[in-house]
Chains A and B, each alone.
Chain A
Amino acid sequence: LKVKDLMMRDLAAIEEDTLVKEFVYILTNCGLSSLPVVDENDRIIGIVSERDIIGAVLPGYHETLRGTPFAPNPDEMAQKLQAIERQPIKELMTSPVTTVQENEDDLYAANIMFQNNLKLLPVVNNEGRLSGLIRRIDLLKILR
């Protein structure tokens, strides 16, 4: 299968000036855990995930505390979230981004995702513009 046969044809994306508050709102609605960040031509310039937001409010959580019985103080976390809610997403996004061309094979895409431990892989067309997204579950759908 080609990536374009497998991908979710969703152009869900945000711009680099999208505020953290808005990003969290979109994530809670769309059911994805991360979103590509695009420029005015739909070319991918970054990616931002819920993990990046957690990392911003609880620095070091993923690296040092994930394996321990640690529960962050909800009030403190809410305060920290409020403190960054008007921050543009470009300050938190990861860039550059790993992407895949829509005409590549499914196994190539799977390899990229597993090697880089990615939950979401943006797909680009031959003009370099966002054309879809591959989630891990999209790879598993081949087994149906």
Chain B
Amino acid sequence: MSFIIGIAGTAKNTGKTTTTSTILNELRKNNIKIGLTGIGYDGEELDNITGLPKPRLLLKKGMIVATAQKCLSVGTAGFNVLETTDISTPLGKVIIIEVTQEGLVVIAGPNKGRELRLILDKMTRFSCDFIIVDGALNRIAPMVETDGLILATGAARNSNINQLVEETVYFYKIFNLPSVTKEEKDLVKGLNKITLIERHQKNYFALDYAVLIDKTAVSQIVSKIFQYNTIYVPSLISQSSLKELSAAINKSWKGKTLIVKDSIKLATGGTPYEVYSKVEEILSFGGNIKVEKSIPIIAISVNPFYPKYRFDINNYEPGFIDSKELYFSMRNAVPTTVVDVKRYGCFDLIKAIKSFYKPRE
């Protein structure tokens, strides 16, 4: 089995590529077979939107890469094609290659979760021990296929350090929700609609919907909830629906559990603060919230860079916030590893990864 790590960002230019590049460089020293793919488009010379230079992805001999056909012609790495898949992207089919000569690559892999899964399985079959999924923008949905995330955030998301740190704390908390027990896991296995469960009697009531994003689904849950003690949502829960659900069930939450498929289904529903404040509200009413699949945040990578817009020249230039203040504020607030790889190197980051994944010696 491969260990799959996702590099998820909170915005463009938050340091995903630099983080990816750092991990690639360090882990290759451990004599492990590394794979790399991405859910977006990365490794290009200039940013698609701001036109500012971007970090490049330099790959070493032996690495396995899944990227779109058109990206292969713009890189400098030598390679052997291992497989041409049927998975299409706007830049052509995804091709799996083995690097035969060190060089730069541009990565544009599958951008849907299901397709990412297929590619990861194939890369595993090509003997990858450790696969990095490079993220795109603020997208996290396909990261559900990974074993853990490194969250890249920074001034490009918000140049106000206090607000950025606060948001990251809530984001971390959403991803640190407790996992279901073995019994609960069995209880929800295979369900693909919102389902109300009475766990002792094993009574199930399935709604017509998988997603919880409007009043109709909330009303149906509220009208039936007195007979059940568990709500299972296999798909998206929007911030507004969570708010309505919390308020409508109110004190009746006591003894009831909301099980969500994974933290990503909650995190995409709204802002981390709004979502987590409703989680706390449900907890304060005596309810529980758990995730069916846990996707731990292994570390948080911070980046003081942001593209500063200049109105006088109608263009962007590199801007920076105070990197020390950003790093220490984040480290003091979030109970996990925080790294600024450009300023302090990657020692802590690799240590954090190795606490989840033990490369063979």
Is this pair of chains taken from one and the same complex? Answer: no
